Amino acid sequence: MTSITNICVFISGGGTNLQSLIDGEKNGEFAGKIKLVISNKKDAYGLVRAEKAGIKNIWERDNGKILKILKDENIDLIVLAGYLKILPPSIIREYENKIINIHPSLIPSFCGKGYYGLIVHQKALERGVKITGATSHFVNGETDGGPIIFQETVKVLEDDSPEILQKRVLEIEHKVLVKSVKYFCLEKLKVENKKVKILKE
Ligand code: GRF
């Protein structure tokens, strides 16, 4: 019997990725419990989503206070769901291979410093790629540079605008993120030489 994983989700915006995790927990899609939502933006709609779901949620920017709260809440897994602030080394060290990020492209394309939100899709369309997608990965000290967990592709269509493409990719992000959390809770994600092995048993 896998014990329940205590999860903290970090957000900065609308929180549709957070919502996919709230719904996933409710539907029993993973053996985890979202105990806390932290936003660096006071007006993030994701805080409203957390409130509606009865999940403790705070607006906090001080990394020292954040680290203390994570420990007080016995958090086992951090999920960055559209969190636009860089995590400090203190948190990354404390939660090595226990921080999952979702990125709206097929890393290593269209990622790294300055690649977030709509910009990612604008660049993909400018480059004329035929497929893009979503990537979940563990967070290390390098922006979007941690070990890749799962990826899923999305076809780019001739008449796509950045907004339309973002919407299609966002749906895949939700799927990839819930699957990544599920596998983490099942302890099926093993990091070896900076690569993630998906344990079968
Ligand atoms: C989206 O652009 C998504 O691609 C990325 O961060 C943004 C947040 O979306 N992961 P939401 O706040 O989860 O809706």
CA 169/CA 121 separation, integer angstroms: 9
* 138-194 confidence digits (pLDDT tens): 999 999 999 999 999 999 999 999 999 999 999 999 999 999 999 999 999 999 999
Catalytic annotation on 103?
yes
- Provide the domain count of the chain: 1
> Where would I find the beta strands (DSSP E) of 21-160?
32-39, 57-59, 77-80, 99-103, 131-138, 148-155
Separation of 117 CA from ligand 1 center, angstroms? Answer: 6
Q: Which domain holds residue 51?
A: 5-198
CATH number of residue 164's parent domain: 3.40.50.170
Q: Is 82 in the pocket of ligand 1 (CB under 6 A)?
A: yes
pLDDT of residue 98: 98
Q: Is 160 in the pocket of ligand 1 (CB under 6 A)?
A: no
